Structures are given as structure tokens and as C-alpha cells.
Amino acid sequence: MEKQRPVMTRRFWVLIHRYAGLFMAFFLIVAGFTGSILAFDGELNGWLNLPQRVEAQGRPMLNPFDLRERPWH
């Protein structure tokens, strides 16, 4: 009578361990990257969204109430 080999062999568990580790590593890299973005949110926001400048035109400002009444064509 021949001896049957177990279905769950060492090679099977090595493959499961390898791909589970790769999946977890990918997840941890993504979590670390997004976490570091959140940690530097203020600095990145200031760098990516520069303050807008308003330059003087040399003319008087328009009345806001007159602007409200103008048609937007």
C-alpha cells in the first residue's frame, strides 16, 4: 500500500507565505505613503496652492452693488 502525501505541503505554505507577505508589504507601503502625505498636509498645501496676488490697477475700485446689478453676458 502506497503512502499518500499530504495535500498541504511545505511548498504550498511557502507560496502562501510569500504572496501574503508581498500583499501586506504593498498595503503597508501605501498606508505609509498616504500617512506621510497627511502628516505634511499643511506644508504640501502651501507649496501646491500658492497664495494669489492682487495687483493694483491704478483705477478706483468698482462699487460692489453696481457689479451685482450688471448682467453676466
Q: In this structure, is residue 22 part of a structural domain?
A: yes
Judged against a pLDDT cut of 60, whether residue 1 lies above it is answered with no
Any domain includes 73? no
pLDDT tens-digit series, residues 34-58? 999 999 998 888 888 888 887 877 8
Evaluate whether 44 touches 37 at the Cβ level (below 8 Å).
yes
pLDDT digits (tens, 9 = 90+) for 57-73: 788 888 889 888 888 75
Whether residue 7 has pLDDT greater than 80: no
Distances (CA, A) of 13 to 5, 9, 26: 15, 7, 20
In-domain check, residue 39: yes
**Residue 2 in domain:** no
User: Is 21 inside any structural domain?
Assistant: yes
Residue 33 structural domain? 11-47
Which residue type, as a one-letter code, is found at position 33?
F
Domain annotation covers residue 61: no
- For residue 37, tell me if it sits in a domain: yes
Domains in the chain, number: 1
In angstroms, the CA 22 to CA 35 distance is 20
Instruction: Check: pTM over 0.75? Answer yes or no.
Output: no
Mean pLDDT, residues 13-39 taken together: 95
Alpha-carbon torsion (7, 13, 16, 19), positive or negative: negative
- Residue 18: inside a domain: yes
